[in-house]
Amino acid sequence: MDKQSSYEDLSDRARHLLRVLIDRYVRDGQPVGSRTLSRESGLSLSPATIRNVMSDLEELGYIGAPHTSAGRIPTTKGYRFFVDTLVSFRSPSRGEVRELQSRLGEGAESETRLVESASNVLSRLTHMAGVVTIPKQALGSLKQIEFLPLSDQRVLAILVVNETQVQNRILQVDRPYTADELKKVSNYLNQQFAGQTLIRVREKILSEMRQTRESMNRMMSEAINMAQALFAAAEREEGAGYYLAGETNLMDFAELSDVEKLRELFEAFNRKRDILHLLDRAMVSADLQIFIGGESGYHILDDCSVVVSPYSVDEDVVGVLGVIGPTRMAYERVIPIVDITARLLGSALKSLD
């Protein structure tokens, strides 16, 4: 379905006035009256005619009236119509692109530095909050897996990725294992999977787990089960975090400056759960997404918009990045910045491989 077909059939005049109203409100944050629209619209219309059009837009739910003003402001529906059908995107300037490339280049020695740099530059360029999830360990090649026995039916798993990255995790297993048994498990997994990307290793492990147990001997079955436990533990850790920068920028927007509202918003940032759930929804999409106001499904974000895009390495989505700000954001500028940052971060991560 065409995006425009889901909206009422607005006249060209109504669309133009809605766009002018949103542009003006985004610029200065003040409700927009008919006289202002008459002056800035470039149309030869009287304030009375413009008031009639505004009345129609309000009745259809595209604009609303704050209690303290005779002017009008966009609603979530108005912003959604604007983003879907009216906005003219503005590509980042050469200077902004150079800064993105420079900032991401500075962090090129590690994934952590790259992600942190990406969140910082998103915040700096948009003057809002920049968020980047920690990349899932889909990129990188498996060099070696080792398992060492610990007490209380625990095993230390050592994962070596890309020659130099070493990750240690403790697994709870269903029985005690000897060092010799774990050595056989390690040897089998290294023979089967060394040199392959982690995402391919996970896919093969899941595929082998679906095979009938009769087709595997005990050692093979235990090796696959232990590898699955290792990757499940890794996914739990990866899903636990993101880098957030510039959240204090949100205090500069009057509509978000209420102390109680800010407290709840910052608590949500610290709690991470709700924000991560929202970002996870973007992980399943190959496209940039925009959640405006209540579209996020989280009350704490009712006055916010979240512009997010997945970032990929070799066509595998490994994380999400974006910007959190007020619904009154410059979408025509923020959306292209998020889009190009996602592409540059994916390229920078690939260069680590």
User: CATH number, domain at 335?
Assistant: 3.30.450.40
pLDDT band of residue 214 (cuts 50, 70, 90) is low
Same structural domain, 213 and 340:
no
Give the domain range for residue 62.
Answer: 3-86
Which domain-ending residue is among 196, 214, 238? 238
What pLDDT, on a 0 to 100 scale, did the predictor assign at position 5?
Answer: 46
Quote the radius of gyration of the chain (alpha carbons, Å). 26
Average pLDDT over residues 281-289: 82
Residue 304 phi/psi, 5° resolution?
-120, 160
Question: Of residues 188 and 166, which shows the higher confidence score?
Answer: 188
**How many other CB atoms are there within 10 angstroms of residue 71's CB atom?**
20
Domain boundary pick from 238, 270, 299? 238
Q: What is the pLDDT of residue 140?
A: 63
* Same domain, residue pair 46 and 109: no
Q: Which contiguous run of DSSP H or E holds residue 29?
A: none
Q: How many whole angstroms separate alpha carbon 73 and alpha carbon 79?
A: 10
Q: Tell me: do 218 and 260 sit in the same domain.
A: no
Report the distance separating Cα 221 and Cα 216, nearest Å: 6
Task: Say if residues 137 and 234 touch (Cβ distance below 8 Å).
Answer: yes
Please tell me whether residues 79 and 149 are part of one structural domain.
Answer: no
Measured CA to CA, the distance from residue 261 to residue 255 in angstroms comes to 9
The answer to whether residues 209 and 289 belong to one domain is no
The reply to whether 253 and 129 lie within a common domain is yes
Do 100 and 161 fall within a single domain?
no
pLDDT digits (tens, 9 = 90+) for 31-44: 999 889 989 998 88
Q: Are 133 and 277 in contact (CB under 8 A)?
A: no
DSSP 3-state of 290: strand
Do 114 and 251 lie in one domain? The reply is: yes
- At residue 53's C-alpha, the angle toward residues 32 and 7, to 5°, is 100
| Average pLDDT of the segment spanning 51-65 | 94
Q: What span, in angstroms and rounded, lies between the C-alpha atoms of 13 and 103?
A: 43
Which 8-state DSSP code applies to residue 305?
E
Mean pLDDT over 258-268 rounds to 87
From 238, 273, 299, the end of a domain falls on: 238
Kindly tell me if the per-residue pLDDT of 137 is higher than 70: no
Give the model confidence (pLDDT) of 89-132 as tens digits: 999 999 999 999 988 876 566 778 889 999 999 999 999 999 99
Domain count, the chain: 3
pLDDT of residue 321: 96
Q: Quick one: 248 and 346 in the same domain?
A: yes
Domain identity same for 252 and 339: yes
Give the whole-angstrom CA distance, residue 116 versus residue 279.
17
Between CA 65 and CA 69, with CA 66 as vertex, the angle to 5 degrees is 90
- The whole-angstrom separation of Cα 173 and Cα 182 is 12
Is residue 164 located within the same domain as residue 183?
yes
pLDDT over threshold 60, residue 240: no
The pLDDT assigned to 61 comes to 94
The predicted structure's pLDDT at residue 106: 63
On whether both 248 and 132 belong to a single domain, the answer is yes
CATH number at residue 49: 1.10.10.10
Amino acid identity of 186? S
According to the model, what pLDDT value does residue 340 have?
A: 96
Position 69 scores a pLDDT of 67
Mean pLDDT for the chain overall: 85
For residue 225, give the CATH number of its domain. 3.30.390
| pTM recorded for the entire structure | 0.73
Span 314-337, pLDDT tens digits = 888 889 999 999 999 999 999 999
